[in-house]
Amino acid sequence: MNVRFKTRISIYNTVAIAILIALVFMAVYWVVHATAYHQLDTGLEQESQVSIGNLMWKQDSIIINKMPEWQESEHTQVELNPIFLQVANIQGTIIFRTINLLNHSLPSKKNIVSPAYFNATLQGQHIRIGVFPIITETGRNIGTVTLGVSGEGTFLVLKNLRISLLLSFIILLVILYSVTSFAASGSIAPVHQLIKSASGIDDSNIETRMPLPPHKDEIYHLATTINELLDRVELSIRQQKQFTADASHELRTPLAAIRGLLEVLILRRHDIEYYETKIEEVIQQVDRLEHLIGQLMQLTKLESGTTVIRKEPIPLQQFVNRIKAKWDEQILSPGTVIRVNIPADAKVDADPFFLESIIDNLINNAVKYGKKNGTLRFDWVEHEHCLSLADDGPGISAEHLPRLFDRFYRVDPSRSSTVSGNGLGLSIVKKMTDLQKIRISVTSSEMSGTRFDLHFPV
């Protein structure tokens, strides 16, 4: 069932207060009820003492004398505050009753040892009955005196009290619900305001923020939290747009180059060497395109959240030496040297595939941007659990360092025609280190070379 929040608050509050009111009303009713009957019962008890005092008995037999008190109007007439009296022996046989009872008898009890009180009706009238045992001087129980007084007044008072309490309860419930409902509407109004503001936000006005209420309450925190979320969404949308724009730009550059080359070729006839050179250039641009698309796909996959990381203990010295051998053999020009300064017992927990990919990327950059015939150094700092790769190249000036791991960020784009690349390598490295909880940092300054540090989790 879809009950509105406002209605739910009103119902909860009303029920809670209604329970309290009901308890108070019940207590009031109980006190009035007990007091009223206590008064009647005290009267009956006093009357019983007089009545039992008027009786005489011989052994177990009760002797009824005509007592002047019993001729009084309260015992003879029914109209004015009558007191009904009835005497019974131990077998329960009625041996006397006052005139006002006419032919009726009072409901009573047999063989009781202490007074008993209860309500009954006599000729349609509510009466309060008190039954008292007749105990002789020797302590023998020889019968009962049953007294009845009109309980009509008490009954009426209690009945009216019940009706008034019930009516007041219902009226209070209605008032309570209206008041809590009104109060809930007031308290929920800022939430409605937030819903209204939030539902008006889309791509086109993502910079809009929730209005903050004046008091620093829960609504204020909710609005601030939504605003912070919007900040993140806005940043993510901007980055996404930037990424799409950068990717299109990077894709368009080699395509434009290919188109230019082909247009030159069809413009007029050339000799075969010319065709061969131009086709070589087209193939280079296609390679560049292929590399870029490969990197984009790799980045998308790493960001999709589906990448499975399989960590295992890696003997670092052996691992890095194997990568060095691969580079020495296949890629490095004879003048470039890789030095590995890692102790034999250095071990890290990492995914071997991704770790190799990270190291390959860093070596590739060090070679691309480092000194010709320079030296690359791998070092291991055991107490920091840190593997570093330093080159002796021209370095990167400080203002570029904070954005170095951003997608498509290149320190010197004008060099992009001479040094191949598209600014995606380090952002891919960053993704791969993040996935393995490896902290990567870069230290560099112009002319002092660049050092990348990989801090492995302990």
47 counts as binding ligand ADP under rule CB under 6 A? no
Residue window 26-45: x/- pattern of binding to ligand ADP, with contact defined by CB under 6 A: --------------------
In the complex with ligand ADP, which residue's Cβ is closer, 190 or 425? 425
Given CA atoms 356, 410, 401, 234 in this order, what sign does their dihedral have?
negative
In the complex with ligand ADP, which residue's Cβ is closer, 366 or 387? 366
List the one residue from 393, 432, 438, 453 that touches ligand ADP (CB under 6 A): 393
In the complex with ligand ADP, which residue's Cβ is closer, 127 or 404? 404
List the one residue from 396, 432, 438, 454 that touches ligand ADP (CB under 6 A): 396
Binders of ligand ADP among 438-457, rule CB under 6 A? 450
Is 36 in contact with 158 (CB distance < 8 Å)?
yes
Question: Minimal distance in Å, beta carbon 276 to ligand ADP?
Answer: 28
404 counts as binding ligand ADP under rule CB under 6 A? yes
**Contacts with 320 (C-beta within 8 Å, 6 or more apart), sequence order:** 340, 342, 359, 378, 387
431 counts as binding ligand ADP under rule CB under 6 A? no
Question: Minimal distance in Å, beta carbon 246 to ligand ADP?
Answer: 12
Give the separation between CA 354 and CA 309, rounded to whole angstroms. Answer: 8
Given CA atoms 330, 331, 337, 340 in this order, what sign does their dihedral have?
negative
411 counts as binding ligand ADP under rule CB under 6 A? yes
Please, where are the H alpha helices in 200-217?
A: none
Query: CA separation (Å) from 380 to 311, 352, 454?
Result: 19, 17, 10
Question: Minimal distance in Å, beta carbon 213 to ligand ADP?
Answer: 45
Stretch of 82-90, 227-235, 377-385, 409-417 contacting ligand ADP, by CB under 6 A: 409-417
In the complex with ligand ADP, which residue's Cβ is closer, 435 or 440? 440
Token pair recorded at residue 35: 């007091």
Helix (H) or strand (E) holding 339: strand 337-341
Stretch of 75-83, 157-165, 265-273, 418-426 contacting ligand ADP, by CB under 6 A: 418-426
What burial letters (b/e) apply to 46-79, b meaning 16+ CB within 10 Å?
ebbeebbebbebeeeebeeeeeeebeeebbeeee
254 counts as binding ligand ADP under rule CB under 6 A? no
Give the separation between CA 162 and CA 30, rounded to whole angstroms. Answer: 10
Residue window 337-376: x/- pattern of binding to ligand ADP, with contact defined by CB under 6 A: ----------------------------xx--xx------
Q: How crowded is the C-beta side of 364, counted as CA atoms within 13 Å?
A: 14
List the one residue from 100, 108, 154, 422 that touches ligand ADP (CB under 6 A): 422
Give the separation between CA 407 and CA 242, rounded to whole angstroms. Answer: 9
296 counts as binding ligand ADP under rule CB under 6 A? no
In the complex with ligand ADP, which residue's Cβ is closer, 2 or 417? 417
Token pair recorded at residue 34: 């007990």
CB burial of residue 319 (10 Å; 0-12, 13-18, 19+): buried
148 counts as binding ligand ADP under rule CB under 6 A? no
List the one residue from 149, 258, 425, 438 that touches ligand ADP (CB under 6 A): 425
133 counts as binding ligand ADP under rule CB under 6 A? no
Question: Minimal distance in Å, beta carbon 407 to ligand ADP?
Answer: 8
Give the separation between CA 257 and CA 319, rounded to whole angstroms. Answer: 40
423 counts as binding ligand ADP under rule CB under 6 A? yes
User: φ and ψ at 218, to 5 degrees?
Assistant: -60, -35
Chain residues that interact with ligand ADP, rule: CB under 6 A: 365-366, 369-370, 391, 393, 396, 404, 409-412, 421-427, 450
